Structure 1
Amino acid sequence: MSASGLTMQWTELLDGVARPSDQVLLDDLCLDSRHCGPGSVFVALAGEHGHGLEYLDQALAAGVVGVLHDGQRELPHCPVPAVEVPGLADRLPLLARRFFGSPGDMDLVAVTGTNGKTSVAWLLAQALDAAMLGTLGLGRPGAERPGTHTTPDLLSVYRALAALRAEGHKRVVLEASSHALAQDRLAGLAFSCVVFTGLGHDHLDYHADLEAYFEAKARLFSDYPSNRQIINLDDPHGRQLADRLGDREGVLGYSLTNRPSAARLRPLRLDLAGLEVQARLPGADVILRSPLIGRINLHNIAIVALELYARGLKLAEIQARVAALAPVPGRMQVVADGNGRRAIIDYAHTPDALEQALTSLRELGADRIWCVFGCGGERDRAKRPMMGRVAESLADRVILTDDNPRSENGTAIIREIQAGMRHPERSRVLRNRVDAIRIALAECEPGDLVLIAGKGHETVQWIGDQAHAHSDATVVREALEEVA
Structure 2
Amino acid sequence: MFNCLKAKIRPFLSDKTISEYHRLQAGLAAWRYNYPGRKLKIIGVTGTNGKTTTCVLLGAILELAGSKVAEATTVRFKIGARVWKNNTKMTTISPWILQSFLSKAQRAGCEYVILEVTSHALEQFRTLGIDFLGAVLTNITRDHLDYHKTFAGYVSAKLKLFEAEPFISVINLDDSSSKEFLQLASSHQTSYSIGSKKAQVRAEKIIYNIKTTDFILVTPQGQIIVKLNIKGKFNIYNALASAAVAHNLGISLETIKYGLESVDLVRGRMEEISQGQPFRVIIDYAHTPDAFEKIYKTLRPIIQGRIIAVFGATGNRDTGKRPMLSAIASRFADIIILTNEDPYTENPVKIIKQVAIGVDRKKFNRGKNYFQIIDREKAIKKACRLAQVGDLALITGKGHEEVMAVAHPKNPHLSILAPFNEQDIVKKILGKMGYREN
Q: Shorter-chain TM-score: which interval?
A: 0.7 to 0.9
CA distance in 2, matches of 1:306, 1:272: 26
1:78-477 equivalences in 2 (<5 Å):
95-103=28-36, 104-129=38-63, 130-140=69-79, 143-144=83-84, 146=86, 148=88, 149-222=90-163, 224-242=164-182, 244-245=183-184, 248-258=186-196, 260-266=198-204, 268-423=206-361, 425=365, 426-465=369-408, 466-477=416-427
* Shift, 1:215, TM fit: 0.2
The alpha-carbon deviation at position 413 of structure 1 amounts to 1.2
Q: Does 1:478 align with 2:428?
A: yes
Q: Report the TM-score, using the length of structure 2 for normalisation.
A: 0.85
CA distance in 2, matches of 1:416, 1:134: 30
Aligned residues between the structures: 407
Amino-acid identity (%): 30
Distance 2:103 2:26 in 1: 14
Q: Which moved more, 1:297-306 or 1:378-387?
A: 297-306
Secondary structure at the residue paired with 1:245?
coil
Output one character per residue of 1:353-404: Cα deviation in whole Å (capped at 9) or x when no partner: 1111111112434432221100011111111011111110122221111111
Quickly say closer, same or farther: Cα 1:472–1:241, change in 2 above 3 A: same
Instruction: Specify the code of the residue in structure 1 equivalent to 2:198.
Output: P
Question: Secondary structure, in 3 states, of the residue corresponding to 1:132?
Answer: strand
**Contact 1:401–1:431 (8 Å) recurs in 2:** yes
Once residues 353 and 89 of structure 1 are traced to their aligned partners in structure 2, the CA distance between those partners, rounded to angstroms, is 30
Write the distance in 2 (CA, Å) between the matches of 1:368 and 1:88: 51
Using the TM superposition, give the Cα deviation of residue 122 of structure 1 relative to its aligned residue in structure 2, in angstroms.
2.5
* 8 A Cα contact 1:127 1:321, kept in partner: yes
1:406 Cα offset (Å): 2.5
* Distance in 2 (alpha carbons) for counterparts of 1:106 and 1:198: 26
TM-score of the aligned structures, taking structure 1 as reference length: 0.78
Return closer, same or farther for 1:209/1:370 CA change in 2, 3 Å cut-off: same
Q: Residues 316, 443 of structure 1: CA spacing in aligned structure 2 closer, same or farther, 3 A cutoff? A: same
Please tell me whether Structure 1 or Structure 2 has the larger radius of gyration of its CA atoms. 1
Deviation at 1:94, TM superposition (A): 5.9
Deviation at 1:416?
0.9
Secondary structure of 1:420's counterpart equals coil
Q: Which moved more, 1:363-372 or 1:350-359?
A: 363-372
SS in 2 for 1:279: strand
Select between 176-185 and 250-259 the one with higher mean Cα deviation: 250-259
Question: Superposition pairs for residues 35-46 of structure 1, below 5 Å?
Answer: none
Q: 3-state DSSP class of the match of 2:167?
A: strand
Residue pair 2:30, 2:95 contacting (<8 A) in 1 also: no
Separation in 2 of the partners of 1:132 and 1:420? 38
Q: CA deviation at 1:106?
A: 0.6
- Partners of 1:271 and 1:478 lie apart in 2 by 30
Structure 1 pair 135–391 and aligned structure 2 pair: CA distance change class (3 A): same
* 8 Å CA contact 2:218, 2:224 repeated in 1: yes
Q: 1:121: Cα distance to partner?
A: 1.9
Change (3 A) 1:88 1:179: closer
Bigger CA drift: 319-328 or 462-471?
462-471
Q: What is the CA–CA distance in structure 2 between the aligned matches of 1:415 and 1:259, rounded to whole Å?
A: 45
What's the secondary structure of 1:331's corresponding residue? coil
Letter in 2 for 1:187: L
Q: Quick check: 305-314 or 87-96, which moved more? A: 87-96
Distance of 2:225 and 2:93 partners within structure 1: 38
Q: For structure 1, which segment, 338-347 or 135-144, has the greater mean C-alpha deviation from structure 2 after superposition?
A: 135-144
Kept in 1: contact 2:165–2:184 (CA 8 A): no
Residues 185, 265 of structure 1: alpha-carbon distance in 2 compared, 3 angstrom cutoff:
same
Query: What RMSD, in angstroms, separates the aligned Cα atoms of the two structures?
Result: 2.7
